[in-house]
Amino acid sequence: MILFFIEFALIFFLSREVSKTVSQLLLKITRSHKATIHMLSFMFLPGVILHELSHWIMANILFVRTGTIEFMPKIHDNKVKLGSVAVAKTDPFRRFFIGVAPIIIGLITIFGMYITLFPDSSIIFSWKILLFLYLLFEIGNTMYSSSKDMEGALVFFIIVAIFVLLYFLFGLHLPPVLIRAVTSEVVQNIFQKMDIFLGILAGINILFTGFLKFFLR
């Protein structure tokens, strides 16, 4: 489980590097900021669609009103938004879960794709592997939340920290059923599979970025 969080953090930085390197190469080729933004948006469109739909789905699950959802890039001042969804103001807890929804739904989608494409866990080289790697790259590099998405995170973590402090001060214990669920063989197998997927994604990002930087020299 520790490896999962290490890889997750690593991919956060690698995904930023992928986006930055692709943008630099496209700008070098097109010499147009507008063209670069639209090409970048098209390249990551499947991931952007899932990202914004994740916000929309989570907001509706938590009974928070939503408005217009967009998948095309927009430039505001000096910032670029590849997609957006209008969400009404709400409490910090719901705001936090709406913000991190692309991560939650993204990871679930990645694992769901694996189950769907390889139901018997037997993996041989075929179009399914190429499709899985493509979607892994798309979803994995667009699932991370932006600073706008994480507006309610600070308040959320402060409240959680208070509960954790009270938990230790009063010597409380986690429910046995929760401990058994987290340590169950099924959950451990899921984390082991995700360790492999995230490790593959990290490798793809490193190779892809290195390949593009070769042409930026």
When pLDDT is averaged across residues 81-96 and rounded to a whole number, the result is 84
76 pLDDT above the threshold of 60: no
| CA dist., res. 64 & res. 216, Å (int) | 45
**Which helix (H) or strand (E) segment is 207 a member of?**
helix 185-215
Cβ pair 101, 58 in contact under 8 A:
yes
198 pLDDT above the threshold of 90: yes
| CA dist., res. 42 & res. 86, Å (int) | 21
What pLDDT score does 111 carry?
A: 93
Q: Band the pLDDT of 14: cuts 50, 70, 90.
A: very high
DSSP state at residue 12: H
Among residues 23, 80, 87, the alpha carbon closest in space to that of 61 is found at: 87
| CA dist., res. 198 & res. 71, Å (int) | 25
Q: Band the pLDDT of 150: cuts 50, 70, 90.
A: low
What pLDDT score does 186 carry?
A: 83
Cβ pair 56, 48 in contact under 8 A:
no
DSSP state at residue 146: P
What pLDDT score does 159 carry?
A: 74
DSSP state at residue 31: -
Mean pLDDT of the chain: 84
Q: 199 or 79, which is more confident?
A: 199
44-79 as b/e: b if 16+ CB within 10 A: bbebbebbbbbbbbbbeebebebeeeebebeeeeee
